[in-house]
């Protein structure tokens, strides 16, 4: 009976191939943190699970949290927030390694990255933190987590002020305008919450057609937010009613930015759109060919945007014409950070770049954040 043997040998071959697949996906989460700038140091959550303080002029690491010799954190996604000499950073946790969540928010002294407080202040954690942290002038630390909660902590001691539950994980970074917090959720909703109490400000949340991970942008009386349903929405900031919607080609993962009467947003098909803020009419579009996940920034009248292909483009705000480009040689998914003429890029190959945008782009420094690499 030769056929069955052949059959089982073939099955064994396929199973061997499957065996090669096992374990592939269970690589620990690593992150895409943006960069925070303050004084003579810039701060970044590395893909190796540490927060690094780098020298602004040279890029050399000066401090690390947790310090070398201690276990790293499991994934740093949100951009750290730096306010009044304190750096706030949220950590992810990977449930593939541990049944109990280990996500935490840390407040670190910016001068040496020593720990000031952490939330929760015990061995437990909260579910994975993917979005960034927003710190208000009034001393509130706002963030969302994968347990669906938006939380507000007191910046001075990390005690919880309020929390608000959504139906799905919150990966969007909260945006504060006046006394309102705007935040999106994977439950498709955009929420407006009272900064003081966390109570909903709208009669009902604004429902998009897909999940929301992008950070809402507030300009004038509108909130702009993109969704996985490939639409960019303009919502009345006071009532939550839709003002207009714009149909893109891919997901709006990165956050929109606005200046003047225009709002700019890029999608996962690599198309960057400039839209009229009042009507949603397309003014121009630029095809960057590779997906855009990194949120763009505006530097001296130009739009700087990074693609998954590793190219940092500088485009004219007026026309979308390309002014210059720079190849960092690795995927960029972290939001860009601008400080004056310098743009900081945390690439997926664990290198952090400082690029000067005066005229042609030029490298100020690049640093490998993983010494083992």
Partner 1 sequence: MEIISLLWNEIILNPMENGLVLLYAYLGRNFGITIIIFTILVRVITLPLTLKQTRSTLKMSQLQPRLQALQKRYAKDRTRLSQETMRLYKEAGVNPIGCLGPMIIQFPVWIGLYISVVALLPTKPEDLPKLANHLYSWLPIAHEVVPLNSNFLWLDLALPDPTPVMAVMVGISMWVLQKMSTPAVADPRQASTNRMLLWMMPFMFAFFTISLPSGLPVYWLISNVIGIVIQGFVTGWDVLLFFRKKEPVPVSAVAIDATSQANAPSLVTEETLDAEQARTGGDQRQNDRGGRRTRTQRARRRTRGSHNRGR
Q: How far is the CB of 46 from partner 1 (least distance, A)?
A: 14
The reply on whether position 203 binds partner 1 by CB under 8 A is no
The answer to whether residue 65 forms part of the interface with partner 1 (CB under 8 A) is no
29 binds partner 1 (CB under 8 A): yes
- Scan for tokens 């049944």, then name that residue: 99
Stretch that binds partner 1, among 19-27, 174-182, 237-245, 319-327 (CB under 8 A): 19-27
What is the spatial distance between Cα 56 and Cα 52, in angstroms, rounded to a whole number?
12
* Among 105, 141, 140, residue whose Cα is nearest residue 126: 105
Residues 6+ apart with CB under 8 A from 282: 246, 273, 274, 275, 276
Return the structure tokens found at 211: 């999940």
| Residue span binding partner 1 (CB under 8 A) among the ranges 7-15, 49-57, 197-205, 274-282 | 7-15
> Shortest gap between Cβ of 201 and partner 1 (angstroms)?
26
119's CB contacts (< 8 A; 6+ apart) are 104, 105, 126, 153, 158, 160
- The edge-to-edge listing of strands for the beta sheet with 262-266 is 257-259, 262-266, 271-276, 282-287
Contact between 273 and partner 1 (CB under 8 A)? Answer: no
Quick check: 269 binds partner 1 (CB under 8 A)?
yes
Kindly give the pairing relationship between strand 175-177 and strand 271-276: unpaired
251 contacts partner 1 (rule: CB under 8 A): yes
- Rule CB under 8 A: is residue 167 a binding residue for partner 1? no
Based on CB atoms, which residue is closest to partner 1, 193 or 213?
Answer: 213
- The reply to whether 32 sits near partner 1 by the rule CB under 8 A is yes
Nearer Cβ to partner 1, position 35 or 354? 35
Q: Which of residues 88-107 bind partner 1 (CB under 8 A)?
A: 92, 94-96, 99
Measured in degrees and rounded to the nearest 5, phi and psi for residue 126 equal -110, 165
- Member of 43, 164, 182, 228 binding partner 1 (CB under 8 A): 228
Neighbour count for residue 47 (Cβ, 10 Å):
24
- Binds partner 1 by CB under 8 A, chosen from 191, 253, 264, 273: 253
Among 39, 67, 138, 209, binds partner 1 (CB under 8 A): 209
Name 198's Cβ contacts closer than 8 Å, sequence gap at least 6. Answer: 150, 152, 161, 162, 163, 164, 181
Using the 8-state DSSP alphabet, how is residue 83 labeled? Answer: E
By CB under 8 A, residue 245 contacts partner 1: no
Q: Is the dihedral of CA 218, 146, 162, 242 positive or negative?
A: positive
Smallest distance, partner 1 to C-beta of residue 288, A: 14
8-state DSSP, 56: T
Which residues would be at the binding site for partner 1 (CB under 8 A)?
1-8, 10-12, 14-15, 17-19, 21-32, 75, 77, 92, 94-96, 99, 130, 171, 186, 188, 209-211, 228-230, 249-251, 253, 268-269, 291, 293, 333, 348
């Amino acid at each position: 009976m030769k056929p069955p043997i052949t059959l089982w040998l073939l099955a064994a071959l396929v199973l061997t191939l499957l065996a090669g697949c096992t374990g592939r996906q269970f690589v620990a989460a690593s992150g895409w943190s943006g960069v925070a700038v303050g004084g003579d140091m810039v701060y970044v959550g590395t893909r190796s699970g540490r927060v690094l303080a780098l020298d602004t002029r040279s890029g050399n690491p000066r401090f690390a949290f947790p310090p070398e010799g201690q276990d790293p954190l499991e994934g740093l996604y949100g951009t750290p927030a730096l306010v009044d000499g304190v750096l706030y950073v949220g950590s992810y946790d990977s449930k593939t390694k541990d049944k109990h969540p280990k996500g935490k928010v840390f407040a670190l002294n910016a001068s040496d990255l020593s720990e000031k407080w952490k939330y929760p202040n015990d061995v437990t954690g909260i579910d994975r933190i993917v979005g960034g942290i927003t710190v208000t002038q009034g001393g509130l630390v706002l963030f969302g987590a994968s347990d669906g909660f938006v939380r507000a902590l007191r910046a001075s001691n990390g005690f919880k002020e309020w929390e608000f539950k959504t139906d799905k994980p919150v990966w969007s970074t909260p945006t504060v305008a006046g006394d309102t917090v705007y935040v999106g959720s994977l439950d498709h909703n955009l929420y407006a919450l009272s900064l003081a109490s966390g109570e909903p400000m709208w009669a009902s949340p604004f429902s998009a057609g897909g999940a929301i991970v992008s950070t809402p942008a507030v300009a004038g009386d509108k909130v702009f937010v993109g969704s996985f349903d490939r639409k960019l929405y303009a919502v009345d900031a006071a009532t939550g009613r839709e003002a207009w919607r714009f149909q893109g080609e891919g997901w709006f993962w990165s956050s929109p930015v606005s200046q003047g009467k225009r709002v700019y947003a890029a999608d996962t098909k690599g198309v960057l759109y400039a839209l009229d803020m009042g009507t949603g009419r397309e003014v121009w579009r630029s095809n960057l060919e590779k997906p855009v996940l990194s949120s763009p920034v505006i530097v001296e009248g130009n739009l700087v945007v990074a693609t998954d292909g590793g190219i940092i483009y500088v485009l004219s705000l007026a026309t979308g014409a390309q002014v210059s480009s720079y190849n960092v040689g690795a995927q960029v998914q972290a939001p860009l950070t601008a400080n004056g003429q310098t743009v900081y890029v945390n690439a997926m190959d664990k290198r952090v770049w400082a690029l000067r945008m005066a005229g042609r782009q030029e490298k100020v420094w690049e640093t490998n954040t993983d010494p083992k690499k």
